[in-house]
Amino acid sequence: MADDEQNKKGGDAPKKPAANFQFPVSTWVVWILILGSIVGLTFLHQRMQAPTHQITEGEFFRLFESNLIAHATIDYAPQSSYPNATFNDISGTYYKADTSGNQVKENGKPVELPFTVSQVLLTSSTLDKLRDSHKFTAVQQNTVLFSLLMNIAPFLLIGLLFWFFFIRQIKMAGKGAMSFGKSKARMLAKDRNKTTFKDVAGIDEAIDEVSELVDFLKDPKKFQRLGGRIPKGVLMVGAPGTGKTLLAKAIAGEADASFFSISGSDFVEMFVGVGASRVRDMFEQARKNVPCLIFIDEIDAVGRSRGVGLGGGNDEREQTLNALLVEMDGFDTQEGIIIIAATNRADVLDPALLRPGRFDRRLTVNLPDVRGREAILKVHSRNVKLDPAVDLSVTARGTPGYSGAELANLLNEAALLAARTGKKFVGQAELEEARDKVRWGRERRSLAMTDENKKLTAWHEAGHALVNVLLEHTHPLHKVTIIPRGPSLGSTMSLPKEDILNYRKKELLDSITMTMAGRIAEEITSGDISTGAGGDIQQATAMAHAMVCQYGMSEKLGMVQYAEDDEFFLGRDMMRRKTYSEATAQEIDTEVRGIISRCYQRAHEIIYANRDKLEMIANALLEYETLDGVQVADIVKLGHFTPPPPPPKIEPPTGAQAATSLPEVPPKAVPPKLPGLGTAAPAAA
């Protein structure tokens, strides 16, 4: 009732300011005890110091007359009752002497002993004698209070530092103790979020799906009049780099709504209850900033299935998930709050999180097609100085399977390459080199290869290139090189003409055949085999196993799936269980081995029937290091090789031209492309 009356009178109840931090009386008593202990320890320290020899006034003057005083300090005292005389304390060291009055030495040095003498009556004449000996230093005698302050000054300094740092931390802890469970969501205000759908490309279907969310945030009554209810939550599922976070920010930017962004890992802490508290606080902040979007990135960090794994039901992550489920049930979309979550592991999410009423809509964000890639390149090239002759559609056709993040990285790498070589614009050649660098790694021209290794690599890649051109169902050959790139010593790159949606059996068999050709070419030139075919064998085995176990392309085993899940969730399946018998497993091994053996034999026949052309390709690679697909096709189909044109000669700049950049090399005539499934694995190091 009191709270209601307060609300009626003037709003919320007054809160105590956090800055008024006061200590109770008991705390001051503790501080007094601490200071008293410091003073006591100071006097105890003085008493425990090295003992000094207390001598009489007569002994002091005998030492002085015998010239045994090493050095001493005179503490001036107030004027005594005697005229022209004062009582003084003298302390210092004197030389140890034997019975004959001679100095005692150890290791060639006289032995000094400390002494003190109190209340020595010194007249003006006596003071003159002491001063003339140049062994005495006069200082003003300190009072007891001054001595005490000098002794405890270091401790006072330490105490002040302790107060400044530690106590201030206690104050902040007093404020932060209540904010420890506050949400870590970062709020992007309406006026700061400039991202719109114009900044998102390549996912047109996803944009269409979320457009109604924008309409709802702008005009909720449009849907409420017809009884419609906007989804509470939208789950975005897609590969990394496809633009899920960018799309969520664009929704908020289009709707002119606040945008809260948080990662799933930000909820989970080692302290019990903190994650649940942060969930509640996040929704409370969202209610104060409607209309708004809450974006939870990598929600699988907190939304994994409950009751599984080794954490048990009291696991902090599960308590956080429970709080999230309750909050999503407790709010209504009429409030103007929409939750968007992103993950690439939707298979491990808790079923209760995916049911209607929480995440009502599941949106798949796919990799962009060729038109989408071109649109993405245009978006990211707004701030890049491209050569007018650059055709981004060519780059888009040559980058199948690239995500939006990879395309942005491609343009950035091309810009860096052009700047490194002193060019004013980014040309097609830089885009092609950046494409190859992003996918396969940078060229390693500094790698020292022996002539034997270089020859073996050339024949290996020539075998891939020859069979690739002669087979009917392989992807067109883009280029073949023996320049080391990334972990490989050489590469044969074949590119599809268009985006690949399905693979036919003939295409897979031809791909395996082309992959086997490198090992066969090695045997021809050296009479031996090497480890260079390791990647080829791995790729061929994976394709053959998929044909038998996943795609039903084995006549003997039929249309049955024998593959196991690649994902292994500890709590869901404590042990991997095979769905087939050991006899079936043996048949699978036999079928896989049979496919590879038949493809190997087929490649063997093709290479031996065209050995002269294989040798021409290998010799051209040894001379020019890189051949494009057109040059290899001329060798295979026409029997002759057309050498590439020499690079343009660049004259060194002179005079006024010295300050300008070097002339640009014209881009290659062959458009850049990207390898698909038909690409042979490069030779391993």
> How far apart are the C-alpha atoms of 411 and 180, rounded to whole Å?
42
Dump the DSSP string for 88-154. Answer: EEEEEEEE-B-TTSPBPEETTEE-EEEEEEEEEEEEHHHHHHHHHTT-EEEEEPPPHHHHHHHHHHH
3-class DSSP state of 632: helix
CB 297 within 8 A of CB 342: yes
> How far apart are the C-alpha atoms of 431 and 417, rounded to whole Å?
9
Nearest one of 488, 490, 486 to 458, comparing CA atoms:
490
Copy the structure tokens of residue 307.
């009751």
| Cα three-residue angle 525-527-532, rounded to 5 degrees | 75
463: Cβ contacts below 8 Å, ≥ 6 apart: 517, 518, 519, 520, 521, 522, 603, 607, 614
Alpha helices in 219-315 (DSSP H): 221-224, 244-255, 274-287
86 pairs with which residues across the strands?
79, 122
Q: Which of 269, 374, 430, 461 is catalytic?
A: 461
> How far apart are the C-alpha atoms of 574 and 116, rounded to whole Å?
84
Burial call 423-439: b when 16+ CB within 10 Å, e when fewer: beebbbbbbbbbbbbbb
3-class DSSP state of 86: strand
Active site residue 112: no
Using N-to-C axis directions, what is the helix angle for 611-624 and 451-470, rounded to 10°?
130
Question: Beta 109-110 vs 105-106: how paired, if at all?
Answer: antiparallel
CB atoms within 10 A of CB 85: 16
Nearest one of 291, 284, 280 to 338, comparing CA atoms:
291
> How far apart are the C-alpha atoms of 231 and 358, rounded to whole Å?
8
Copy the structure tokens of residue 649.
């000669």
Alpha helices in 554-653 (DSSP H): 582-609, 611-624, 629-633
CB 105 within 8 A of CB 111: yes
Phi, psi for residue 441 in degrees, rounded to 5: 105, 170
> How far apart are the C-alpha atoms of 572 and 593, rounded to whole Å?
33
CB 481 within 8 A of CB 494: no
Copy the structure tokens of residue 470.
């002669």
530: Cβ contacts below 8 Å, ≥ 6 apart: 456, 522
Any idea which residue has 């020539």 for tokens?
462
| Residues forming the active site | 461
